[in-house]
Amino acid sequence: MLRKTITAVFIIGLTLSGVSFVANNRQISYQSPVSTPASTPVASLDRQNSQATQADRSPTSNYSPKQAVEYAPQAEGSAKPKTIKIRTADGYIERPNIRYQALYTPNDLRPTQWYTNKIGAPATWNKTTGSDSTTVAVIDTGFALSHDELSYRWALNTSEQGTTNQEGTVPNCTSRGLTLDKSCNNIDDDGNGYIDDWRGWDFDSGDNDPQAGKVAPTDSAVSHGTMVSGLVGAAGNNNIGAASLNWQTKLLPLQALDDTGTGYTSTIAQAIRYAVDRGVDVISMSLGTDQPDEVLQIELQYAADHNVTVVAAAGNDGCDCLSYPANYPEVIAVGATDSTDAVSNFSSYGANLDVSAPGAGSLYTTAWTATNGQSGYTSGSIYGTSFAAPIVSGLAALLKGVRPDATPAMITSWIKTGADPVVSGNGGQGRINAYNSLLLASPEIVDSLPSRTTPIYKMTKTNKDPLYTSSYDRKENLRLLQGYNYSIMRFADY
């Protein structure tokens, strides 16, 4: 049996609601019982050593993931399995249950809300603020489920809510002093294999309570899922907190990382499967590892086959070493930029990086602490591709709201084609511009625009310069942009 070690560096430090956390490095290792050829390299997430080879974005295998992967039941509090079985025509093969980490690197400065202006949110809000018919599954650490900004945004499972005369064994509604209801009766009313999953699921603990802080309430990563959720879909115009790009989309809270920001193939892959089966439109993952994961890619293909757009953080190693799952073809890989449109020095890149979004500095968003789970917000700068990816997830859901017929390929095209150039660094096809992408997705919005003289970038294969004419018809120029709707054209290489 070969000993296989995965080393992860997790750098954290932020100020939340007056509670300061200092930067720290966490080095994590585990043993895998999977037999591996002796020539297999040791995987590492350390910035100095990690040079993960960029995989070609070739199509995934054709076998049915639902029949191929078998997950062991996860009892609450039990240890994670070391391997996962994949059924093939020749029997079973085992793959390692790979460790994943949340991807962020914070600091502590007073925040100001600049990023929404940078990505064209105000102009976008004049046309749409999103649609509550869309749902984004956030796969992350636990969540501030009772937060003032988020409590009414969670996507609820109506099949596990409502009056009933049936009740399972304890713990149930009666034993907990609650009114008899499907949400607490300890019966799988909808038959999906998850008991009382009325508001998401905790795949780390194996229960229906994806609440932050159940195990390690003072850990510096405990608020990660809450911060990410606010960047995906914090409502605007509600007299509290901060507004994200998308004010309307529903959020499905799926905990696959524990309070320390650590998760495994088994928790994340099952969360993807669950999200798809719940009918979400977008999956947002601000997590990663440095090695390919066959099991996870099976579930990503399952998502693609069911018309679900998947967004993931590129990684924070600052090298040509995109993290997985961002490095897979089924995923929109997102890097981070700062307020000057420069790519952040920690943002990982590579041939498969799609776009970038603000992910460095004062991004004001929801937060959770052990002393404030209802009205907390970040009170310092936060850094990481973890915080760029959810902004893109919110945009993907916004585009799906105006174009319910859109496929993941179409949404990816509009996001990439509409992006603005970055001023330095490898940012994929640029920093997202929500308004440009909306115009590409919605011709009727273009037709309603007045003529303007403000230049926008001309979409050609070789020219990224503005049109330096004294005046021209903005609507006509946007129709030119729409001509590249489905071909994922880019501004000139930069």
405 is catalytic: no
Contacts of 2 by beta carbon, 8 Å cutoff, 6+ apart = 34, 35, 36, 38, 40
29 is catalytic: no
The residue annotated as part of the active site, out of 386, 393, 413, 442, is: 386
d(CA 138, CA 152): 15
293 is catalytic: no
Task: Please name which of 172, 102, 167 lies closest in space to residue 323, comparing C-alpha atoms.
Answer: 102
The residue annotated as part of the active site, out of 196, 204, 205, 224, is: 224
The residue annotated as part of the active site, out of 32, 50, 140, 354, is: 140
Active site residues: 140, 224, 386
